[in-house]
Chains A and B, each alone.
Chain A
Amino acid sequence: MNKYKTLHNPAYLKIDLMLNGIKADNETIQRLGLDLRYGYTGVTGGLDILLPHNTWVNASFLEEFAKSSKYELVLRDKKTFIKAGDESVKVDIMPKPEFYKLSTATGIPLSKIGAMHGGYVAITPDTRCEFFNMNIECRYCAGNFNSGGSGRVYTVEEVLETVDAANKEGKAEIVYLSIGFSETPDGGIEFLKPYIKAIKKHFNTLVAVEALPPKENHFIDETYAVGADSVLYNMEIFDERLFKEICPGRDRLIGRERYIDALKYAAKVFPNGTVATHLIVGLEPAESTIKGIDFFTGIRVVPILPIYRPSVGANLLNYKVPSLDDVLPVYRDLYHAVKKNKININWVRDISVITTPIEARFFAKTKFNKTLMERFYKTKLGVKTAWGLSTLRRKLRVREGGEG
């Protein structure tokens, strides 16, 4: 594994940490002041670490598999390092946000409503997914979208309280709203509309929406018009046969073709680089994911590549976790594909739980230096500019009450 010099390449290190986790003894945990009450387990619950070159990673440290990781978290002179063998690299541990300690006026802890991942606050106002009711849920899913009926639906006010708290801490550059499957033609956007509208009305923040492809394209127009700055329809698996097998609900009730058509259409409506789809690395052969990357970048959709990590409760618990060797060609292709198709890679960034195209440049033997634009969009002024440009673009493009 040393052939990759993982420790000194933030993207290699990120993927290796995502795959294998990191060791941290009790003393380090205590000295870092990590409050284990705030969910440090599960797919998105690990430790948010800021690696060199501004690369975020969410690494498991409490799970069993992390105990055999070659990486170890160590503290020296109040500074944090990741150590592998004799070498180490300085990192920053992102403490769980202060707002996790707060509750809404209705008594719900804000940590249940919003989860911070890098610069994003992710909110799922309704955690139900009807695929579970029909036994056609995605086979890798452990049900963070719970089975239907019992999930609490958070009100617009509760969500606003969460965004407000995150915003006051300066942690909500982007609010990421998501929804599970429900048998409606709109793909869930009608449900999310009041949340998007309210967030846009009260905060100058960008909003990303993860929904399901609606049956008709006018819902995509409305998603943009109502205030979403980015949209994700996650196809997850590109290979046709494996898509049917692993995502039976998505296949039967939406269809692979509709995913592609909806993404293709959304890419014409939303700004360059803001329409994305997840392709899970490790659930299909690398060649198939690469095919997917090339296809989607060709239609100006950003492929986002989470790595499959088995979750307790998921049907694919025993699936083999890919190795670094398996995944590297995929990420190399990602960077070249987005560059070749001139896709803006500044939008999908600073996410700790997935590898973004901007990070994929570290695989492509290019210089690690950030571009001027990348530097600018990281500043406060840059964030405000991104919001302003996005709002202006919407003002120019959206015409209300079109003649039908």
Chain B
Amino acid sequence: MNVVIDKRPIWVILLSRSLRPLFFVVVAIIFWYLVSIPTPDGLGLEGQRTIALFVVCLILWVSGVLPLAITSLLAIVMVPLLGVLDKKAAYALFGNEAVFFILGAFILSGAVMHSGLAGRTAVVIMSRFGETPKRLIASIFFLAAVLSFFMSEHAVAAMFFPIVLEIAKGLNLKPGKSVYAKSLFLALAWGCIIGGVATFLGGARVPLAVGMLKEATGINIGFFEYTAAAFPTVLIMLLIGYFMLTKFLPSDVEDIHKIKAVFERKIKELGKIGYAEYAVGVLMAVTIFLWLFLGRTIGIANIAIASVVVLFVFKLVRWKDIEEYVNWGIILMYGGAITLGAAMEKSGAAAWIANTVISEWARSPLIIIAILSLLTILLTEGMSNAAVIAILLPVGIGIAGKFNLDPRIITYTIAIPAGLAFCFPMSTPANAIAVSSGYVTARDMAKAGVLMMISAWVLFNITVFIYWPLIGIKI
């Protein structure tokens, strides 16, 4: 039984409890106000209602008063109720390719973890590269990043967490005090965050953005195409991250040989590689190969789901083993975000916002990119990166039309920075996992994270101006 007794004076508790219903009343009033004011010129009634719904969802997403998934469900319900889309169309949007890719990614990650393959890979590689404190930091940081190229960054963070925790305990580091422990857990979080931006596979936000783009414009972005645009940012951010971890958080540990015993024990516990591990390894290798080379023609969601089917055909996992790895909340959230995004687009609301509001300060494509990426990177610190995409992408696509910008550029401008959330535990699960260790505090994370955030924004824009034209992305 885990209970906490709120010992504040009763009137304070009552006041704080009444804030929640009051908050919903205020949100309802805002919604009512936005739908009842005269419809502005150039905006239809559906568009006005969609904007009202969008504002409500934005408030709910940012405030976190409701779980993200529930706000998304509210969006799905409200879109047909407000007459923006009919019921069938609204619910059909939930069947988006991105949603199924996320489902597939969760199941595949679950299989990799359940089989023991993930743990063995991590343990073996770290035991080889963890000779000195710096090398150990480097091995966690780069390994987390590289694995996040190919699988969900959340899954990588979850997979590495027990191992890093064991390292910290093995080295007898003091929670909240040891600088080296902070480095270890920030290395894990940052590795996952930066690596997760590199490909379609690091998280669900890129497929979401690509899905939304396709839904809105019919334009598709391929696996390599995206990676080519994102990779320099990832590579340089990894170098900056490593520099920060080793220079700004200098190690207060000299000898890490004790850790060898921890790894040796882990490897012993794992035993020899079994059939399931081999089979899952081969299946993952094939899946990654297909994602890399046939993703555009077959579709990454198709590949993921087909691999999932193969997993079960060969009885490599059981459904009950996998269930705990499938985060249905995230899946629901993505479904709702896609529906709302489509409603913004189809009702003309996104275009209207682009034309009348953002165009006020949008003077040139470069300024649009700088401001959109800044807005994205700031918003993603406080809310789900997928929600940021759902909110900004329809508006961005609208602006793209006005300035004759390729919508793919806007997609990159939002999808890449949306993954770079370094400052807060609520920004992304990798940060939350790191803070949950007790070795790194939210304040430590914010202090180091602000520098990383600024670096990421500056670097991204330099990449846009210098590197993108070199690979044929013309602004």
Where the two chains meet, the residues of A that have a C-beta atom closer than 8 Å to any C-beta of B are 218, 221-222, 224-226, 268-269, 393, 396-402, 404
Is the Cβ of B3 less than 8 Å from the Cβ of A399? yes
Chain A residues near B3 (CB-CB < 8 A): 218, 221-222, 225, 398-402
Name the one of A218, A222, A269 contacting B7, with C-beta atoms under 8 angstroms.
A269
CB distance from B175 to the nearest CB of A (A): 13
Residue of B nearest to A217 (CB): B5
* B residues 1-36 in Cβ contact with A at 8 Å: 1-7, 10, 13-14, 17
Is the Cβ of B5 less than 8 Å from the Cβ of A396? no
Residue of A nearest to B3 (CB): A225
In the assembled complex, the Cα of A404 lies from the Cα of B436 at a distance in Å of: 9
Chain A residues near B14 (CB-CB < 8 A): 396
Chain A residues near B1 (CB-CB < 8 A): 222, 225-226
- 8 shortest interchain CB distances as A-B pairs: A402-B4, A225-B3, A399-B4, A221-B5, A397-B6, A396-B13, A269-B5, A222-B1
Would you mind naming 14 contact pairs between A and B with Cβ atoms under 8 Å apart?
A218-B3, A221-B3, A221-B5, A222-B3, A224-B5, A268-B7, A269-B5, A396-B6, A396-B17, A397-B13, A398-B5, A399-B6, A400-B2, A402-B3
Residue of A nearest to B6 (CB): A397
CB distance from B71 to the nearest CB of A (A): 22
Chain A residues near B10 (CB-CB < 8 A): 393, 396-397
In the assembled complex, the Cα of A401 lies from the Cα of B4 at a distance in Å of: 7
Residue of A nearest to B438 (CB): A404
Residue of A nearest to B13 (CB): A396
In the assembled complex, the Cα of A393 lies from the Cα of B180 at a distance in Å of: 44
Chain B residue total in the interface (Cβ 8 A): 11
Residue of B nearest to A393 (CB): B10
In the assembled complex, the Cα of A399 lies from the Cα of B3 at a distance in Å of: 6
Residue of A nearest to B1 (CB): A222
Is the Cβ of A397 less than 8 Å from the Cβ of B2? no
Residue of B nearest to A395 (CB): B17
* B residues 65-112 in Cβ contact with A at 8 Å: none
Is the Cβ of B5 less than 8 Å from the Cβ of A397? yes
In the assembled complex, the Cα of A7 lies from the Cα of B2 at a distance in Å of: 53
In the assembled complex, the Cα of A184 lies from the Cα of B439 at a distance in Å of: 31
Name the one of B2, B5, B7, B13 contacting A404, with C-beta atoms under 8 angstroms.
B2
Chain A residues near B17 (CB-CB < 8 A): 396
Residue of A nearest to B14 (CB): A396
In the assembled complex, the Cα of A269 lies from the Cα of B6 at a distance in Å of: 8
In the assembled complex, the Cα of A393 lies from the Cα of B3 at a distance in Å of: 15
Is the Cβ of A402 less than 8 Å from the Cβ of B2? yes
In the assembled complex, the Cα of A268 lies from the Cα of B5 at a distance in Å of: 9
CB distance from A360 to the nearest CB of B (A): 27
In the assembled complex, the Cα of A225 lies from the Cα of B4 at a distance in Å of: 9
Chain B residues near A225 (CB-CB < 8 A): 1, 3, 5
Is the Cβ of A221 less than 8 Å from the Cβ of B6? no
CB distance from A86 to the nearest CB of B (A): 53
In the assembled complex, the Cα of A59 lies from the Cα of B2 at a distance in Å of: 44
CB distance from B414 to the nearest CB of A (A): 32
CB distance from B428 to the nearest CB of A (A): 18
In the assembled complex, the Cα of A404 lies from the Cα of B437 at a distance in Å of: 11
Q: Among the interface residues B2, B5, B17, which one has the most CB atoms of the partner chain A within 10 A? A: B5
Is the Cβ of B2 less than 8 Å from the Cβ of A401? yes
Chain A residues near B6 (CB-CB < 8 A): 396-399
In the assembled complex, the Cα of A218 lies from the Cα of B5 at a distance in Å of: 9
CB distance from B18 to the nearest CB of A (A): 11
CB distance from A299 to the nearest CB of B (A): 14
* B residues 318-332 in Cβ contact with A at 8 Å: none
In the assembled complex, the Cα of A222 lies from the Cα of B7 at a distance in Å of: 14
Residue of B nearest to A268 (CB): B7
Residue of B nearest to A219 (CB): B1
Q: Among the interface residues B2, B10, B17, which one has the most CB atoms of the partner chain A within 10 A? A: B2
Chain B residues near A268 (CB-CB < 8 A): 7
Chain B residues near A404 (CB-CB < 8 A): 2
In the complex, besides A224-B5, A393-B10, 7 extra interface pairs with C-beta distance below 8 angstroms are: A221-B4, A222-B1, A268-B7, A396-B6, A397-B7, A397-B13, A402-B4
